[in-house]
Amino acid sequence: MVVRDLTFFQLEILKELKFSPKYGLELMKNLNVSSGRLYPNLKRLENLGLIEGVKKDNRIYYSLSEKGIQEFENIFTWISDCVLSIGINFLDDYLKFIVDSLNLKEGEKVLVASKRMRHPFLMHIGLELIKRISKKVTLSGRVFLLQKTDLPYVTSVESFDLLPDKIVDKSCFFAIDLDEKIIKDCERITNSEITIIGKLYSDFFIEKCFQNALDKISHEIKPPFIVRKGFKKEELLEELRKYGYKNVRFSSWGGIFVASIILQ
């Protein structure tokens, strides 16, 4: 038996029967389905030898057969392994997209900052991203992290005030609760480029990252200007070109964007 032989609904039936036998009305109530949907699927599982029905008190109680118990364990072990594999692969793709979009070069000094994360999985993602950035700039470069850390390849900086002006080549921010002061501080310490990483369709990048830069280009511009929800990369870049701003990179994939502004 392989998982592709069963529908998701049939797997739900097996899960319902794993701990105790149940009769038809119980299954209909627990699964919120009609008899017309339930019983053909019960028949299918019976034909496959995964469940068996025993008549008791004018009711037929269904339970997992010995084969069903074994296959249930095999199926959900397979599903768990499959989901884990897909999750790891997607995570790797996300991290690769972000690092590639940063266009890092050997020897560059990079500042990385975000809201302090306490969730173990998010912390793992953040640490993995920092490791990949460090690997890109190699030992001749340097990675600054705007929070306390014990990572041997990263310089921990607890405040912008501790950084000299123009000390880093690039600043990379996760767009989570960042305010205008942080963006201005970032401009002070960054030689050339600020990158914002955030959710696609968020107006954070428009309102914060470009606000000061657009104001420098023309005092007639009153940021934030509005780009309609669901904008495409080409539409955003065209909107910026209208204001005479061309030094921008914008990449998106899988619901996130990486947008970089090169300071004048």
Confidence class of residue 259 from pLDDT cuts 50, 70 and 90? confident
Confidence at 236, pLDDT banded by 50, 70, 90: low
Cis peptide before 21 (omega within 30 of 0): no
Q: Which CATH number fits domain 3-77: 1.20.1740.10, 1.10.10.10, 3.30.2130.30, 3.40.190.10?
A: 1.10.10.10
Q: What is the mean pLDDT of residues 186-200?
A: 80
What is the reported pLDDT for 85? 65
pTM for this model (two decimals): 0.57
Most confident of 43-47, 83-87, 146-150, 237-241: 43-47
Range of lowest pLDDT (49-63, 132-146, 206-220) = 206-220
In a 3-state reduction of DSSP, which class is residue 62?
strand
Specify the DSSP element, H or E, that contains 261: strand 256-262
Edge-to-edge strands, sheet with 22-23: 22-23, 59-64, 51-56
Q: Residue ranges of the domains in the chain? A: 3-77, 102-262
Sign of the CA dihedral with 49 first, then 54, 60, and 61 last: negative
In this predicted model, which residue has the larger pLDDT, 86 or 44?
A: 44
Predicted local distance difference test score (pLDDT) of residue 151: 76
110 pLDDT more than 60: yes
The CATH class, in words, for 102-262 is alpha beta
What is residue 242's predicted lDDT score, i.e. its pLDDT?
Answer: 63
DSSP secondary structure, 99-162, as one string: HHHTT--TT-EEEEE-----SHHHHHHHHHHHHHHHHHHTTTSEEEESS----TTSEE-S-GGG
Confidence of residue 222 (pLDDT cuts 50, 70, 90): very low
Confidence at 217, pLDDT banded by 50, 70, 90: very low
| 153 pLDDT more than 90 | no
Rounded distance between C-alpha atoms, residue 123 and residue 120, angstroms: 5
Comparison of pLDDT for 248 and 33, the residue scoring more: 33
